Structure 1
Amino acid sequence: MELHKIEKLIEEYFEATTTVADEEMLKAYFSQDDIAPHLEQYSPLFNYLSKAKEERFTKQVPLKPRRDYLKWVSVAAIAIFMVGVYFYQPTPPPVTLADEYTPEEIESAKEALALLAMNFNKGTEQLYHLEEFEKTTNKFLTKNN
């Protein structure tokens, strides 16, 4: 009966469904000298887990003295800020047309654009006449066919 229970606990252990008490039972079983031959393969696992708890790190850990880096970081931040202030160049205000050109130049540009717009309008009127001509021609051509 005990052997059957141990086999069941091993299955549960590998499925990760055992409790702490179940694992203690397994460790106690495998720490004995009387282990079933077909379960001896699991003995090193449970013996290692019980021995691993007893291991302690005994070497000396060298500790380096702590340096105050915060002081140097603040000095570096101030230095970077001062370099930024020294090289700062404010952006000039945006340039308007009145600043760039004289009023006479602006008026002549307006006249030239008005003349250009008028010529474009004439061209579009001619296209309208061309469309009317095409419609009329298509009427005569479709009637004769």
Structure 2
Amino acid sequence: MELSNIEKLLEKYFEGETTISEEKELKVYFTRETVPAHLERYKDLFQFFSQESTITATKDLKLNTRRKTRYAWVGVAASVALIAGIFLTNQPTKPDKNLGTYEDPEIALQETKKILNMVSQYMNEGKQELVYLKEFENTKNKFIK
């Protein structure tokens, strides 16, 4: 086999793009006694793979599948209980038709002003924190210049 072909196969191997047959070619090539000096470092690697591929299991393993099925039913039961709990606790209630309405327009105006004032206060509190962002932007611009 040509040396350039082996080097291309090595590149493909280390990129994880080789097929099984190409890996077998590399194993056969590197198990030979004579390998070029610059490829000598790969010889031990492929010889190890060749030796390890001949090892077979000497003992049969028995898996306990009975235990798995028992725990599978616990998960199914928990899922059913969770779904039933969600549907039973979230029953729709009748909406109150008078909720948020006022008979007197003056009271409605006062309540609206009160709520808008509260929203304005929260917006202003958030705006105070933006001063730090402006300071950060100025410092960043100094470093950029």
* TM-score, structure 2 normalization: 0.41
TM-score, reference length from structure 1: 0.41
